[in-house]
Amino acid sequence: MEIPYRSKDESIEREFKLRIKRLGDGPVALLFLDLTRQKNLETVRRDFVANVSHELRTPLTTLSGIIETLQGPAREDEAARKRFLGIMSKEAARMNRLVDDLLSLSRVESDERMRPIEQVELNTLLQSCIITMAAPAKSEKVDITLLGDESREYFIQGDEDQLRQVFNNLLENAIKYGGANGKITVGIELVDHDATLRGPAICLCVCDTGPGIDPLHIPRLTERFYRVDSHRSRAVGGTGLGLAIVKHIVNRHRGRLAIASTLGEGTAFSVLLPAL
Ligand code: ADP
């Protein structure tokens, strides 16, 4: 006989399947199968599909509306056509970014168990990311400063492309959410002993002088599609996947991501990676 059983303690809901079997004429065997993890994974997968569909539906609805208008009432309207083409190109770019981020996330998730083996020097990599972000920073009138000795070398065992993605995402967020005329400070240093990583670590920090994040959101920021302000994120071209990608890459490197923020003062994202 099989009996599904739901136990509710105060914090976590667990789900079991209970199998009862009589052993001959004698005792009864009870087998508890814990289905909680399997059910949670099903929920995560369902939510993920719902989120992706929702993210795609918004630009698709806009595109369909515009196509209809251009085929009908605005057929001969040159000015409207120009304006609509601009919107279409923005929406297509948004879908492209979403697909790129989804592919990155799936790639990163699939090799999360394989620790990278290359040797990477982080100071040079960080400086090259800052140069890549110079144009968007300039257009937002944001100043980026790198603290510390530019020629000092910090080696780790890592995947250079993925680490580049981490720093680019963090810098991009600091520019997008840090506010115009803000200041971004980037730091890199050796920590002799990090208790969580149980050894020497390289700490990289991207700090901005933006509006900060309410502490209530911080534990959820690395969830896929979690945004503090969806409207603002979409307005600045966000997909809601950047920090989820960062978290998975940091996990693959056996590192740690820490987020500290003070409302009205700014936010600091720190990445700790085991040093070589
Ligand atoms: P998005 O594509 O929306 O930027 P992310 O995963 O990169 O997605 O970030 C998730 C959310 O975290 C953002 O939507 C934003 O609300 C918040 N966030 C990220 N970085 C910062 C920052 N430096 N300052 C304030 N809020 C931030």
Q: Which pLDDT does position 210 carry in this prediction?
A: 94
Q: Which pLDDT does position 24 carry in this prediction?
A: 86
Q: Which atom of ligand 1 approaches the CA of 174 most closely?
A: 23
Tell me: pLDDT of 10 over 70. Answer: no
Residue with CA nearest ligand 1 atom 8 = 240
> What confidence category does residue 7 fall into, taking pLDDT thresholds of 50, 70 and 90?
low
Residue with CA nearest ligand 1 atom 14 = 227
Compute, in angstroms, the gap from residue 177 CA to the centroid of ligand 1.
7
Tell me: pLDDT of 9 over 80. Answer: no
Compute, in angstroms, the gap from residue 226 CA to the centroid of ligand 1.
8
Q: Summarize pLDDT for 236-272 with one digit per residue, the tens.
A: 989 999 999 999 999 999 999 999 999 999 999 999 9
Compute, in angstroms, the gap from residue 174 CA to the centroid of ligand 1.
8
DSSP 54: H
Region of 43 (left: φ > 0; alpha: ψ -120 to 50; beta: rest) is alpha
Tell me: pLDDT of 11 over 70. Answer: no
Return the structure tokens found at 209: 């002088």
pTM for this one?
0.87
Q: Which pLDDT does position 26 carry in this prediction?
A: 86
Compute, in angstroms, the gap from residue 193 CA to the centroid of ligand 1.
30
Q: Please, what is the average pLDDT of the chain?
A: 93
- Long-range Cβ contacts of 95-100 (<8 Å, 24+ apart): 95/56, 95/59, 95/60, 97/237, 97/239, 98/52, 98/55, 98/56, 98/239, 98/241
Q: How far apart are CA 90 and CA 86, in angstroms?
A: 6
Q: Which pLDDT does position 264 carry in this prediction?
A: 93
Compute, in angstroms, the gap from residue 228 CA to the centroid of ligand 1.
7
Q: Summarize pLDDT for 201-246 with one digit per residue, the tens.
A: 999 999 999 999 999 999 999 999 999 999 999 889 899 999 999 9
Q: Is 221 in the pocket of ligand 1 (CB under 6 A)?
A: yes
Q: Which pLDDT does position 239 carry in this prediction?
A: 94
Q: Which pLDDT does position 25 carry in this prediction?
A: 85
